[in-house]
Structure 1
Amino acid sequence: MNNTGMISLVITIANVIFSIKGFKNRAFFDKYAFRVERILLFKEYYRVVTSGFLHVNWQHLIFNMLSLLAFSWLLEADLGAGAFLLIYFGSLVGGDLLSLLIHRHTGDYSSVGASGAICGVIFACIALFPGMEVSFFGLLAIPGWLYGILYTGYAIYGITSRRDNIGHDAHLGGALVGMGLAAIIAPQAMLANLATCITIIVPCIFFMYVIISKPHILLVDNFFYKQHHVVGDIDDRYVFERANRQKELDAILEKIHQKGINSLSKAEREKLERYSQQIK
């Protein structure tokens, strides 16, 4: 019996089940999402992996799973299940670790999605199969190497401009890890496509260094340049945010004491429920 693609299918099903559970249960979603504060301060390291199986909505989930299935079958068939799993989870963890490094001073930063892992799979395919083409919904096909270069530029722009809520840093980190692991697993294929891989990797590493260590050099609406020098480090931010949450909670409890729980507004009830879940 040919089991090629079974691991890809199992991962896809796990993403669907886990994400649907998150859609229906906000407490479940919050418990397993990537959140800097919970990882660095409360040592909830499992979030680095579990966040990769959650998605924001159906559109996010479907797009990611279609992208995964479009590339994973080829990679799993060529390298085998073990190597595929190494690339998938290595890219997932690598992308989230880069995101954790970049956002280490922003305790309330959070994200979800399998995009880092999927980008690792895509870029591993680009490294191993230089002649492949990437098709956009079957309408337009471009060389894999060109897709890699364009995607790298878009991710770098997304990190620096912060024009959307997409975790470009995790995408970029996952892509680099995926390509690096592919090179270790199949070095002969990497050598055959060395020029393209270097063209993608070198600017990524350079901009990652600038973004992390010298963000003021980038004359754009940079997340760190505009905000981080104001809010202080993660411990200061955590203390400040916790004090504000405690004030809100005290006010709600005082209102219950004086007027009863039925006097609470819908927003106050939601806050009280959220606080009680965090305590649990």
Structure 2
Amino acid sequence: MPITLLIILAATCIVSFMAFSNRRLIDDLILWPPAIERKREYYRLVTYGLIHADGMHLLFNMITLYFAGTQMEPFYNQSLGAFGFGLFYLGGLIVSILPTYLKNRHNNNYRSLGASGAVSAVLFGFITLSPWTRILVLFVQMPAIIYAVLYVGYSIYMDRQARDSVNHSAHLWGAAYGVVFTMLVNPMVLPHFLDALSQPRM
């Protein structure tokens, strides 16, 4: 039973639903760089991941987190102990948002919310272990590694265009963190990944 994953899912859903109708709660938890820079409210580097823009934003993140997380929690717990997955997820929240925070630390108008960066970390950790597993993306099945390539390419393009309000940078940094952390936790992951890539299963 993925206990830590269920706790994360429950906490994120509960806080997000509360925040949908409570603007004060959003303001208290959202990543607003000046609050960290001036007031030392470092907790925002984590709490921004507990709130979401709307129901679809929350649903997409939680579905992805559940299916990837059920596979990854045993892996991290076996390597790092009972709280391994929780530590990994917490690290994903912080690492994925740090570049955004540093870039916008004096920007009064910038805000960011949502668990997408940490969810990307979990998903890409899973892809590192099972690159040819077929996953469902917008009702289309494809190998996870193909999705990863498309996802990274799209995120890089959109991050450079800066045409929407999505934090594509957090997606990219979260994905990179997930891959690197997973390979560092278990030195056998890299040769396993390379061997799996050499044996495509389309």
TM-score (norm 2): 0.88
Q: Which residue number corresponds to residue 54 of structure 1?
A: 51
| Partner AA of 1:96 in structure 2 | I
Query: SS in structure 2 opposite 1:141?
Result: strand
- 1:112-167 per-position Cα deviation (integer Å, ceiling 9, x unaligned): 10101100000001112233222125x32212211111111111111110121111
Q: Which has the bigger relative contact order, CA under 8 A and spacing at least 6?
A: 2
Match of 1:45 in 2: 42
Distance across 2 between alignment mates of 1:176 and 1:196:
19
SS at 2:71 equivalent: helix
Q: Secondary structure at the match of 1:34?
A: coil
Deviations 1:81-113 (A, max 9, x none): 533222211111101112112323423210110
Indicate whether 1:162 and 2:159 are aligned: no
Q: Give aligned-pair identity as a percent.
A: 34
Following TM superposition, by how much is the alpha carbon of 1:196 offset from its aligned partner in structure 2, in angstroms?
9.4
- 1:240-259 to 2 correspondence within 5 Å? none
Rounded Cα–Cα distance in structure 2 between residues aligned with 1:128 and 1:86: 19
Q: Give the conservation status (yes or no) of the 8 Å contact 2:76–2:88.
A: no
How far off is 1:39 after superposition?
1.3
Gaps of 5+ in 1: 198-280
More helix by share: 1
Partner Cα distance (1:99, 1:37) in 2: 12
The 5 Å alignment of 1:203-242 reads none
Which residue of structure 2 aligns with residue 82 of structure 1? 83
Tell whether 2:70 aligns with 1:73: yes
Query: Within 1, Cα distance between the matches of 2:97 and 2:196?
Result: 25
1:35 has 2:36 as partner: no
Question: What runs of 5+ residues in structure 2 fail to find an aligned partner?
Answer: 198-202
Report runs of 4+ in structure 1 exceeding 4 Å deviation.
Answer: 194-197
Q: Distance in 2 between matches of 1:140 and 1:57?
A: 24
CA distance in 1, matches of 2:116, 2:32: 16
Larger Rg: 1
